[in-house]
Amino acid sequence: MAHRKKNRNVGIIGIGQTKYSSHREDVNQPEMINEAVSAALKDASLTMKDVDCIVHGNMELFEMVHQPDLWHTLGTGAYGKDCIRITTGGTVGATIACAADNLVASGMYDIVMAIGFQKLQEGHTTGGITNMADPLWFRHLQTGALTGTKAYDVIKEFGEERAKRASLMYRVIMDKHAGLNSNAHRAFGLEFEQIDDLIKTSPKLVGDLKLIEMCSQSDGACCVIFACEKKAKELSKKPVWVRDHITVHREEVFVMFGYDDRHPFPMTHRFAAEQLYKRNGITSPVDYFDVFEMYDPASWWAVDWLRDFFMLKGDEHLKLVENREIMIGGKIPVNPSGGVIGSNPIGATALIRVAEAALQVRGDAGTHQIPTPVNHALASGFGGTMWTVLMMLEKELNWQGVNNG
Amino acid sequence: MSLDFDRKDCFVVDGKLALPYTYFAGRMGSKFITTLRDEKKIMGVKCPVCNKVYVPPRQTCEVDMTDIRENWVELRNTGEVTNFTVIRYDDKHLPRKAPFILALIKLDGADSPFAHILEGIAPEEVKPGMRVEAVFAKATTSTILDIDHFEPARVSKVQVSEPAERTQAPAAAPRSKEEMEQDERRKAMSKKVIITAALAGAATMKNQNPAVPYTPQEFAEDAYKCWKAGAAMVHVHAREDGGMATHDHKRIKDTHDAIKEKCPDLIVNMSSAVGMGKTAEQRISQIIHVKPEMASLNTNTMNFSLVDRKSGKVFIDFVFENTFTMLQDFGKAMEEAGVKPEMELYDMGGLDNWLLISKQGFFTKPYNFNFVWGVAGGQAFRPDAFMTMKHALPEGANFTTCGVGTDQFPAITMSSLAGGHMRVGLEDNIRIPTGELAKGSYEQVEWAVKIAEIAGREVATPDEAREIMGLRKK
Amino acid sequence: MAEYWGIKVEDIFNTMKERFRPEGAKDVSASFGYDIKGEGTWRLTVRNNTMNIEKTDDLAGCAAIMVADGETFVGVNTGKVDGAGAFTSGKVKVEGSLSDFGKTAKMFRKFSPPKKEYTDKDYIQDMFGTIVSRFQPQNCEGLDASIGYDLRGEAGGQWTAVIKDGTCALKNTIEGKPTVRLEVAASDWVRVMMGKIDAMSLLAEGKAAIVGDTSLALKLGQIFAKYTPTWAAPEQELIMLKRTISVNQKFSTGPVMGKFLNSLKEKKIYTNKCPKCGRVHLPAREVCAECRVPATEWITVGPKGQVRYMEYVYYASPDPLTGETRETPYGMGNILLDGCTGNDTFAHLIRRDQIDRIKGGNNEVSGTRVRPVWNETLTGSIHDIKYFEIDE
C-alpha cells in the first residue's frame, strides 16, 4: 500500500476536554466548544493568535445544524483564520486528528487545532444514523448504531456463557476506569459480582446487545493542538509525537451476515492494523504498546476487536479480558479513560482516544494514569458501517531508523 | 464496458427526512430570550477589551476571544436600519407571508447588527439609516419572535432648523492639542440634548404625587423608566421610608447603588443640598462617601421658602446657606473626589459668585451649569433673563435648565432652542403640560423628548452626555 | 422510614394524587407496581383518566413492576439521581412491559419537596459547606493565612479556613492562633452573611470582635464569593426549542437500482453478478466493490430463501421518513435468497408474529425458510414486499 513519508515531524502540544455529560442545557454549541478550546490553549500556554488553522468536525444530522463550523466560530476562535470542516461519521474525531497531522507534516501550517464536538442531547442520534443507509432499500430497516450481530458472532464462536461473561467483564472494567476519570460521563460503580445479575436483568436493545453494554450518548467537546517539530520543542516540555496513522475504508456492511465461512469477509480493523504494524516494523503489538485507547461502541465489539487490533489468534483476546489484563495495572491497559462506553460525544469521541492516549504518554492523565511508563500508545477510531482509523503516538522521537516508507 | 441496462429503468422516488431535535440556548441565550419575553428588554454583552457591544449576546468576543459572558448591558428598543432585503418567496419555514422585509438593525448602543422583520413600511420606502423600534409580541413563544417585528420609530428626528451654534469667538489663549480635539468632539455633539430627570427633590411628597420615589427600589424603578424614555441622567435626593430627606450615608449609597445596579448606563447626579436644615458637613460628606459621577454645587445663599403663590403667604421661611467658603470647600472636595460639580444658578449673582471662586483655578473644564427658575427666593423664568445668563457663561460651558411648577416646560423649551440641555422631574413639577399629575418623572421625560424633536435636537445617550459634560464613567 | 435528601419514599407516593395529570393518562388502563426494597410495595391503578395508589403486597396482574432501592427511587424522583443512568446500570429495574411502564412518565407532574423553614443552624452548615467552593484563588495570590470563625450560640461552632498556595481547606475547629479570629454570635453572623446587617455596626456595638489581622478580615469579601444559600439559588430558566425538521427529498434510482426496483413490480428479484469473483450483490449495483470491475450479468434470485441471521429489535428508534417511533419488537432478517451465495444476504422485515420462531443458518445448517409476502399494489419500491414469512 502506498504510504507517504512525513515532510516533518508533528507533536501534540495541547489537550483540552469538557466534562462529558448527558445534559448541557447551560451552554449552547459554541459555548461548549469554547470550554475545550480554552482548556487546550491553556494546556499549551498559547493564545488563539498562535494557531494557524482549525480543523472542526462532528457528525452530520445530529444537531440538525447546517454549517456548524460557521456559527461555532465564536467558540472555536476561527475568526480570520483558515478553518476546515470534516465529517466522516464515527471516525470523524480521528479523521480530524489525521488531517491536523497531515496539515502540519506537509508544511502548510505550523500549529493546527483539531476540534471535535457533539451535543447528542440536541438531536436524535439513532434517527440521524439511519440516514446513512440507502433510502431506496435499507433506511426503513436501519436501527442506528445498534446491532446484535457481534454478540451473535462471539456467542457462536465461544458459547453463550463465556461470551456473555466476557462482554460484561469488559463492561465492568470500563466502568471502573470511568470511575477514575472525572471527565467521564457515566461511572455507575459496577462491581464484578454484578456480572451474572446484569446478564439476566439488563434490558435488551437488539438481539443479545443489552442496554448496559452500549455506549453512552454524551454532550462534550475535545480539542487537541498539533505543532511542527520545531514549534513543539520550543513550546512544550512534553510533546507527544505522532508516529503514523492509517485510515481504511470498505463498502457498507449492513447486510453481509451470511455466515458462509467459504467466503472470507475482510475486516477493516485487522486490515488496518496489519498494514500499520508492517510498515512500522511492529511484530507483537500487545508487547509494543503500553496503552490502547480504543473506540469501543459496545462491549461486544470491544472484546472482539481486541483480537483484530492486536492481531491475536483463537481466544487470546478473551483471555486478556477474563484475566483483567486490560485493566490499569494489567499487561496492556485498554481505555484507562473509561472509553466510549463511558463517554460518547460522537464527533469528539475518536479525538478523545487520541487525547487520552497522549495524556498517558505525557503522564498527565491524573487519577487514571497508568502506573508504569507509557512510551508507545495506540488510538483507534471506528465509523459505520466499517471504517477504521489508527494513530500511533510516541514519547520519544526515535523511530526514524525504522523503515516506515 | 458497462452493465447492460436501459435508461427507461431510471425513475425518481419521493422521499422525506423527518427528525426530532432540541436546541439548547444555554445560559446566555436563555437570559436573552427570557428577558425579552418577560421584561420586554433587549440585552447585549459588551467586550471590555474592544468595547464592542454584541446583540444577540455571546459568550466570547469573536475578535479577541475575551470571555464576556458577565458583561450584560441593556439596549434601547430603538435602532437604525443598516441594510435590508425583501423576501419575495413563500416557504413554510419563513416567519411571514411574502413579501416581507428582513432588516439588519443596529440597536442604539450596540455594535453588531441584529436581523429582524421590519413592518409598517412599504419595501420601496425602506432606507438604510432609517430609525426603527421594536414591537414586542403579545403572545410569547420563548423565541426571538417575542420581538414581533420592528417598525419605523414614532419619534423620528425632524430637522426644523440648524441647532444653535456656540456664539463665542474662539479662545485666544493657547490650548493643548488634546483640549482642542476634545472641544471639537463636544462641538460635534452640540446637536445632542441631555435630558435629566430630577426624581424626587427634598420636598415633593407622595401626597402631592404618589409617584414620588422614597425607597432605593422605587428610585431604581423610576430611574429605569426615565432612562427608557430618553433620560441620560437622574438627579437624586435620597429619602427615608417615610419620605423625609436624609443625609444618612448608607441610605444615600443604597439609593445610588440601586439605581446603578438597575441601569448601569445611567448618570447619577446627587444633590449636595440634601434637604432643609442640614449642616455643611452633612451635605458634603455624603457626596465624598458615595462619589457619584456628578453632584449639584449651589452658588449663593438665598431665601428658599415654601409660600402660597396666590396669596403671597409664607408657610416656611428658610435661608438656604451657601457661603463663599462652602462654595469653595464643596467645589474643591468634589473635584478632588472626581465628582463633577453642576453649578446651580438661581440668579445672575450666583454665576458671579462662582466666577469669583473659580479664579482659584481648581474647577476643571468643561463647566456645567444649571439655570434654576421659579424658586421662591430665586427668580421667575423670563426668556430675556435666560439669554442674558447664557451669554454671561464662560466660553465652552454647558448649560441645562429647570423650572419650578409651571416654569418647567417653558424654561426647558427655551433651553432646547438656545442650545442648552433640559431637566425635568417631580422635584421641580408634579404635573405634565396638560395639567394632569405626571405618572412619574418619566412622563415628563417623554414630553421633553417631544420638545427636543420639535427643536430639531437629538436626545443624547448617557455615554454621549458623559462626553459632552466631561464625565468619567464609573 | 429512611430519609434521602430529607425526603421519604412515602412522600413521593403520597403526593401522586395531587401530581396526577389526567391528560397524560389518556387511553391507559392498567396497574403498575413499585417494589421499593426495604420500604414496601405499592400498586398504582390507572383507569378512565383517574388513578389510585395503595400500599399493598398484592402486585398480581400489574403490567409492569419497577424495582429499586429507596435512595435511588427518591433520587430519580427528585432529580438527584440520573434516571437513565440508574436504569442502564440496573439500579432501577422494570419487570414486565417496559413500554407500558414508560407511560407512567407522562402521568405525573414533577415531585417538588415541601418548603422548609431554615434555621440559623441550617444557614451556618450551608455556609461552611460551601465555603471551599466559594474560595476565590485569583484574589489570594501569595496569601498564606488562616481565618478562625468562633461563632457563639446554639447554632455556633468553631471553624478555620486555611488558605495556602491558592487553595482553601476547612477545619471544624480552631487550633492555636489563626491569622485572624472572628468572634460573633452565630445568629448575627447569619444576618451579616445574608446582608441584613453590616459587620461594621456589629463591631461598633461590641457584638463582634476581630482578633489578629484586621485587614485580612476586611478582605473576606474578596477571598470568598458572596454567600447565597444553596436552597435559595434561583434556577435559571433554560430555553429549549423542540422541533422536528422535516424536508422533502427526491432520490434518483439510476438504471441499476431502477431495474432492481422495477422488477419487484413483477414480483421478481433481479440482481447482478461479478464476472471476476462470481459474487452476487444484493441489491444490484453497477460495480463489484471487491474486484472493482463492472458487474455485467443480470440474474433472477429467490424470491424464497433462508434466514441466516435476524436482528431481534427491542429498541424503538424513529422512522427517518416520518419521525414517528417504530413499534417494537420487530425482526429484521438477513435472508440468503435462493441463488445467492456467501455473505450477500437480503435485508427485510420478518412477519411480526413469527419472529420468535426464526433460526439463523450457516454452511452446515439451513436457517428458517422464508418467502416474501407481496403488497396488493406494486409500485417499484422495496415496500412492494410487505415482509417475509415462514415458508410452511
The string of pLDDT tens digits covering residues A47-81 is 999 999 999 999 888 888 888 998 899 899 999 99
- Closest CA in chain B for residue A37: B65
Residue A84 has pLDDT above 70, yes or no: yes
Q: Which fold has domain B183-469?
A: TIM Barrel (3.20.20)
Q: How far is C344 from chain A (nearest CA, A)?
A: 5
Domain residue ranges in chain C: 3-106, 120-223, 254-390
- Closest CA in chain A for residue C246: A64
| Chain-chain contact of A258 with C261 (C-beta, under 8 angstroms) | no
Question: Which residues of C fall within a CB distance of 8 Å from A255?
Answer: 282, 334, 344-347
A283 domain residue, yes or no? no
A162 in reach of chain C (CB within 8 A): no
Residues A306-358: pLDDT tens digits?
999 999 999 999 999 999 999 999 999 999 999 999 999 999 999 999 999 99
| C-alpha cell read off for B450 | 417631544
Residue in C88, C245, C317 closest to A130 by CB: C317
Closest CA to C189 of C115, C131, C233, C232: C131
In this predicted structure, what is the pLDDT of residue C150? Answer: 93
pLDDT band at B298 (very low <50, low <70, confident <90, very high): very high
Residue B164 has pLDDT above 70, yes or no: no
A88 in reach of chain C (CB within 8 A): no
| Chain-chain contact of B19 with A61 (C-beta, under 8 angstroms) | yes
Question: Which residues of B fall within a CB distance of 8 Å from A46?
Answer: none
The residues facing C310 across adjacent strands are C333
**Range with top average pLDDT, A1-10, A211-220, C231-240:** A211-220
Cis amide bond preceding C318, omega within 30: no
Question: Which residues of C fall within a CB distance of 8 Å from B24?
Answer: 238-240
Residue B156 sits at φ, ψ, to 5 deg, of -115, 160
CB C70 within 8 A of CB C39: yes
- Closest CA in chain B for residue C274: B3
Q: What is the mean pLDDT of chain A?
A: 91
In this predicted structure, what is the pLDDT of residue B34? Answer: 93
Q: How far is C264 from chain B (nearest CA, A)?
A: 12
A355 domain residue, yes or no? no
CB B457 within 8 A of CB B450: no
Residue to mutate among C241, C242, C260, C384, with most B CBs inside 10 A, is: C241
- Closest CA in chain C for residue A249: C289
Residues B68-97: pLDDT tens digits?
988 898 888 899 999 999 999 998 888 899
For residue A77, give the CATH number of its domain. 3.40.47.10
Mean pLDDT of C190-208: 79
Question: Which residues of C fall within a CB distance of 8 Å from B21?
Answer: 242-245
- Which helix (H) or strand (E) segment holds residue B257: the answer is helix B249-262
| Chain-chain contact of B22 with C249 (C-beta, under 8 angstroms) | no
- Closest CA in chain B for residue A132: B17
B29 in reach of chain A (CB within 8 A): yes
| Chain-chain contact of C346 with A254 (C-beta, under 8 angstroms) | no
- Say which residue, B223 or B14, is predicted with more confidence: B223
| C-alpha cell read off for B333 | 472636595
Residues B423-441: pLDDT tens digits?
999 999 999 999 899 999 9
Question: Strands B422-424 and B195-198: what pairing?
Answer: parallel
Residue A207 has pLDDT above 50, yes or no: yes
Number of domains comprising chain A: 1
Residue in C250, C272, C294 closest to B15 by CB: C250
Residues A275-309: pLDDT tens digits?
999 999 999 999 999 999 999 999 999 999 999 99
- Closest CA in chain A for residue C90: A202
The residues facing B23 across adjacent strands are C241
Residue B258 has pLDDT above 50, yes or no: yes
Q: How far is B134 from chain A (nearest CA, A)?
A: 25
| Chain-chain contact of B23 with A122 (C-beta, under 8 angstroms) | yes
Q: What's the burial of C230, exposed, middle or buried (CB within 10 Å: 0-12/13-18/19+)?
A: exposed
Residue A230 has pLDDT above 90, yes or no: yes
pLDDT band at B294 (very low <50, low <70, confident <90, very high): very high
Architecture of domain C120-223: 2-Layer Sandwich (3.30)
A317 domain residue, yes or no? no
CB C189 within 8 A of CB C151: yes
Residue to mutate among B11, B19, B55, B63, with most A CBs inside 10 A, is: B19
CATH code matching the domain that covers C3-106, chosen among 3.40.50.720, 3.40.47.10, 3.30.1050.10, 3.20.20.370: 3.30.1050.10
C-alpha span between B462 and B229 (Å, rounded) = 12
Rg (CA), chain B: 27
CB A263 within 8 A of CB C339: no
Residue A386 sits at φ, ψ, to 5 deg, of -160, 100
In this predicted structure, what is the pLDDT of residue A120? Answer: 87
| Chain-chain contact of A143 with C313 (C-beta, under 8 angstroms) | yes
Rg (CA), chain A: 20
Q: How far is A25 from chain C (nearest CA, A)?
A: 7
Residue B143 sits at φ, ψ, to 5 deg, of -135, 180
pLDDT more than 70, % of chain A: 97
**Number of neighbouring beta carbons within 10 Å of residue B94:** 13
Subunits close to A (at least 3 CB pairs below 8 A): B, C
A179 domain residue, yes or no? no
pTM over 0.80: no
Q: How far is B143 from chain A (nearest CA, A)?
A: 15
Residue at grid coordinates 449495483: C285
Exposed e or buried b for every residue in B207-233, given b needs 16+ CB within 10 A?
eebebbbbbbebbbbbbbbbbbbbbbb
| Chain-chain contact of A131 with C320 (C-beta, under 8 angstroms) | yes
Cis amide bond preceding B341, omega within 30: no
**Range with top average pLDDT, A388-397, B152-161, B450-459, C20-29:** A388-397
Subunits close to B (at least 3 CB pairs below 8 A): A, C
Range of the domain at A105: 10-125+217-228
- Closest CA in chain B for residue A47: B65
Which of the residue ranges A107-116, C30-39, C92-101, C151-160 would you say has the lowest mean pLDDT?
C92-101
C-alpha span between B329 and B321 (Å, rounded) = 13
- Closest CA in chain B for residue C250: B14
Subunits close to C (at least 3 CB pairs below 8 A): A, B
DSSP, residue by residue, C326-375: PPSSEEEEEEEETT--TT--EEEEE-GGGGGG-----SSS---EEEEEE-
| Chain-chain contact of C239 with B33 (C-beta, under 8 angstroms) | yes
- Closest CA in chain B for residue C239: B30
| Chain-chain contact of C311 with A206 (C-beta, under 8 angstroms) | yes
**Number of neighbouring beta carbons within 10 Å of residue B8:** 10
Residue in A38, A122, A124 closest to B24 by CB: A122
Question: Which residues of A fall within a CB distance of 8 Å from C288?
Answer: none
Q: At what angle do helices A299-309 and A149-158 cross, to 10 degrees?
A: 70
Domain residue ranges in chain B: 26-152, 183-469
A297 in reach of chain C (CB within 8 A): no
Q: What are the residues whose beta carbons fall under 8 Å from the beta carbon of A70, sequence distance 6 or more?
A: none
pLDDT more than 90, % of chain C: 35
* Maximal CA-CA distance, chain B: 117
Question: Which residues of B fall within a CB distance of 8 Å from A36?
Answer: none
Mean pLDDT of B294-306: 90
DSSP label at B431? Answer: B
CB C374 within 8 A of CB C384: yes
ipTM exceeding 0.90, yes/no:
no
Q: How far is B59 from chain A (nearest CA, A)?
A: 6
C-alpha span between A102 and A85 (Å, rounded) = 15
Question: Which residues of B fall within a CB distance of 8 Å from C320?
Answer: 17-19
Q: How far is A145 from chain B (nearest CA, A)?
A: 16
CB C360 within 8 A of CB C310: yes
Question: Which residues of B fall within a CB distance of 8 Å from A47?
Answer: 65
In this predicted structure, what is the pLDDT of residue B112? Answer: 87
Chain B residues within 8 A (CB-CB) of chain C?
1-7, 9-27, 29-31, 33-34, 142-143, 250
